[in-house]
Amino acid sequence: MDSINQSLSQFSKGGFNERFEKIKKETMQDDRIRSFIAGNPELSEKQIENGVNEFYQYKKQWENCDHCPGLANCPNLIQGYQPKLSLYRNEIHLEYYPCSLKKKDEERKRQASFVQSLYIPKEMTQVSFEDFHEDHPSRMHAYTKAMAFCAEVKPGGDGRGLYIHGPFGVGKTFLVGAIANYLADEEMSTMIVYAPDFFRELKNGISDGSYQGKMDLVKQAPVLILDDIGAETMSNWIRDDILGAILQFRMMEKLPTIFTSNFDLHELEIHLSSTQRGGVERVDQLKAKRILERIKHLNDVIDMKGENKREKS
């Protein structure tokens, strides 16, 4: 980040003082700087004068943030960090704190380093509700319910979530990506897990000792999104020890869960009842019903229909 003198180096010597005074005046009229000075009435004129360069850098970097080009293209002195004015030993200094995009990126990296099945397609990392096109009544309904969820969600409150089902390509994962990004911007930790990969990863975690840590991370996520539930190969262990345990914990702690699935609830119950042992036994039906009751009790069901967007792309 250029200092005020570096910014003036392009001007001829004769116009330096005039240009300096102009930039200084523009800098000191900045609302954020005026607010800082007003909030620190003990500042002397000399301290303010000595801090002009810090004020200038502060103003320029916040202008970058106000017109954010995205984390990858952040031009600030420290990429992804926003400046804060402070007083240190009676002098004006700049401190730096991660912006919401940086914090979101670091949280995703932290989670992804621990649970590989948290993979989200790259195009989903920046998707927003503004990108959602309501070209079908059921999609409009889903969009409205998703926005209402974001406005009302409160982990530890009532624990209510969403169960979004529909055929391939209607935008289920797109919608939950928008939810996750919206909540991340609101600094609410949200974890998206691709269910089939996560279940396989937990199985491998038994042998490498990572099982419990991964299980706890997902169970305790303030907002959990289980993407494509029902696409996994069902077993007693997945149904009872993984899915059942996760939902039981989250129900007790009132933590909201969002599901996406190609199955409606009736089809999901059949899927949960059918294990690798073959056939459907009475005990499997009862355990499947128990999980379905938890989902029904705590989730608003959304039926998404419409054209397959993947086939059109």
What DSSP letter does each residue of 81-105 carry, written as one string?
EEEEEEEETTEEEEEEEE-HHHHHH
Residue, of 153 and 127, whose pLDDT is higher: 153
**Scanning the structure block, which residue is given the tokens 């989250």?**
250
- Under the banding of pLDDT at 50, 70 and 90, the label for residue 275 is low
Per the prediction, the chain carries an average pLDDT of 85
User: Does the structure show a pLDDT above 80 at 313?
Assistant: no
As annotated, the residues of the chain forming the CATH 3.40.50.300 domain(s) are 102-312
Residue, of 5 and 147, whose pLDDT is higher: 147
| Residue range 147-175: mean pLDDT, rounded | 92
Q: Are 273 and 235 in contact (CB under 8 A)?
A: no
Quick check: helix, strand or coil at residue 259? strand
Q: Does domain 102-312 have CATH number 3.20.20.80?
A: no
Helices 244-253 and 282-298 cross at an angle (nearest 10°) of 30
Q: What percentage of the chain exceeds 70 in pLDDT?
A: 85
Condensed to tens digits (0 to 9), the pLDDT of residues 57-68 reads 999 999 999 999
Lowest mean pLDDT among 4-18, 48-62, 154-168, 290-304: 4-18
From edge to edge, which strands make up the β-sheet containing 190-194? Answer: 190-194, 223-227, 257-261, 161-165, 299-303
- Under the banding of pLDDT at 50, 70 and 90, the label for residue 184 is confident
Say what the pLDDT of residue 14 is.
54
Say what the pLDDT of residue 8 is.
47
Residues 204 and 45: their CA atoms lie apart, in Å, by: 65
- DSSP bridge partners of 261: 165
| Residue range 292-297: mean pLDDT, rounded | 91
User: Does the structure show a pLDDT above 70 at 238?
Assistant: yes
- DSSP bridge partners of 96: 83
Q: How many CB atoms lie within 10 A of CB 137?
A: 10
| Residue range 112-116: mean pLDDT, rounded | 51
Provide the residue type at 179 as one letter.
I
Say what the pLDDT of residue 135 is.
72
Say what the pLDDT of residue 30 is.
93
Residues 178 and 166: their CA atoms lie apart, in Å, by: 17
Q: Are 183 and 193 in contact (CB under 8 A)?
A: no
User: Considering the entire predicted model, what is its pTM?
Assistant: 0.67
User: Does the structure show a pLDDT above 70 at 296?
Assistant: yes
State phi, psi for 6 to the nearest 5 degrees. -65, -40
Residues 294 and 308: their CA atoms lie apart, in Å, by: 30
Say what the pLDDT of residue 208 is.
87
| Residue range 200-212: mean pLDDT, rounded | 88
Residue, of 33 and 105, whose pLDDT is higher: 33
Say what the pLDDT of residue 55 is.
92
- Under the banding of pLDDT at 50, 70 and 90, the label for residue 280 is low
